[in-house]
A and B are shown apart, each in its own frame.
Chain A
Amino acid sequence: MTKGLIIAVTVWLKVIRKKDVYVLLILLSALLSWLTTMNIFGLGGTTRYVSDTGLLLAWFLAWILAVNVSARELPEEENRGTIFSLLAKPITRAELIIGKWLGAWTVVCTANAVFYLAIWAIVAVKSGYIDPSAMIQGFVLHCFALAIITAIGIAFSTRMNFDAAATISFVFTGASLLLLPRIPEFAVKEKGLRAVVMSLIYHGLPHFDILDMRQRIVHDYGPVDVSTMAALVIYAMLLTVFFLVIAWLAYRKKLFSRSELM
């Protein structure tokens, strides 16, 4: 596990030093600042749209960051040939997978925390109010959603190059984020095989919609009860473990070709 943590530290250092995350934070702050300065038909004191847009951006940017960071790690090790010197150390492939995931997840969660703080600060500056307990719950569930997304990114990247892994991860997680919540509406009129396929998709893909508390935060519905929260966290953890196991199965006997060294 210690070796996994060391691998995670290298992921952290890379993200921090490559500055991608700063660009996203600046983008979020710039967009929120622009929103707060918007002239709303001469009215003042409205803040809900700022928190709403901010949280939407936080979800969007954290998603982009999660897929990019997680899908990049393993293919980059192989492309640069650093995988050979890394695996020559007393480290197992499972430790490598866990380390890469842990690094990607924690760095994305930290960036996400900064996004949430920026939203909270901007809303506070405009004298708005966000229920802190709902906000914290929303952040925690969002982080668990990111755990699944990073695990998916890692799983796809075990057998693909970065571009392919990132594209497939975006399509897969994007469909889960945007399309899945609409399937119960689409499936109403479906019968036979199409209904079965829709049911399989609905029950098979990760449900990010149940980890997305934006509506509760923005419209002051307050936090959910502890048992619901616990069930959702367990669901997210199980999915994360599932995708990490898939990643390990795909990676544990992977052969690295010499051409990757050239």
Chain B
Amino acid sequence: MNKAIEIVDLSVKFPSRGGFVEALSHINFSVETGQVCAFLGPNGAGKTTTIHVLLGFLAATEGMAKIFGEDVRKSIARQRIGYLAEHPDTYRFLTGREALSITGRLFGMTGRTLQSNVNAILAMLDMTSAANRKISTYSRGMMQRICLGQSLINNPDLIILDEPTGGLDPIGRMNIRKIIGRLRDEGKTIFFSSHELSEAETVCDHLVIISSGNIVVSGAINKLIKPGENLEKYFMKTIQTAAIHD
């Protein structure tokens, strides 16, 4: 299998008063194409920092990160990615359809291809009836779905989701989970961070756990979690062990 994400010896340090804070410390992991990988860890563990390096927002202090073999510092590396940010927002003065259309154009789509992609995404998100309304009139859940739609408009091979259900009500969460499930069934590679362990357990087949800037576990869920154990128990145990070692 090809590697969708490859992180090798990656370190990120932030300048701080009197020195540096190490947000990521020589981490290594990879995600194969077609995998659905949960990226878990407590608050401040380095999940979003890692995602930001993958997207080129942050430069690595050491090591390297690649997406489909391309260095993440090149904008071409982002051609095959869809990204949904934590607490996503978009241009509220646009309609849902316009937001998707403009995002599509950024990926070089035009004409009928663009039109049909936008319509397909709107149908998948169940947003067709609200497509011509301004986003400023949308609920939080609808906004989240449109933002997810923007990250899917280019039919990406890798989808990176940062807390995709954060701040949503149960129905909103269920809708997003359904969409993720559908994307998994389509064979997309999905890499997502979440605090919702039950959500991760439902949709993921792989797991990466990060704590204090170090990768503590990486592998297939069915190999890591023993029969009779659930993800929540496993996660707590792993984090506590990592804390003792620290």
Contact = CB atoms under 8 A, between A and B. Distances in A.
**A-B complex is real:** yes
A3 B105 CA distance: 8
A88 B59 CA distance: 14
Given A87-B57, A88-B55, A90-B107, A82 B48 contact: no
Interface on chain A toward B: helix, strand, loop, or mixed SS?
A: helix
Nearest to A88: B83
A90 B105 contact: no
The interface centre, meaning the residue of A80, A88, A256 with most chain B CB atoms within 10 A of its CB, is A88
Interface stretch (B73-81, B174-182, B183-191): B73-81
B150 interface: yes
A82 B83 contact: no
Interface in B125-160: 147, 150-151, 160
Interface residues of A, number: 26
Given A3-B106, A87-B57, A89-B78, A13 B94 contact: yes
A84 B78 contact: no
Given A17-B93, A256-B57, A90 B86 contact: no
B90 interface: yes
B239 to A, nearest CB: 20
Interface string A76-109: 0000111011011111100000000000000000
Interface in B33-75: 48, 52, 55-59, 75
Given A88-B78, A89-B107, A253 B59 contact: yes
A6 interface: yes
Nearest to A18: B93
Given A10-B102, A13-B93, A82-B91, A261 B86 contact: yes
A84 B106 contact: no
Nearest to B151: A85
B106 A90 contact: yes
Interface in A1-50: 2-3, 6, 9-10, 13-14, 17-18
Nearest to A6: B105
B87 interface: yes
A91 B75 contact: yes
Given A2-B105, A256-B52, 6 more contacts: A17-B93, A85-B85, A87-B57, A89-B106, A92-B75, A261-B87
Interface of A: 2-3, 6, 9-10, 13-14, 17-18, 80-82, 84-85, 87-92, 253, 255-256, 258, 261-262
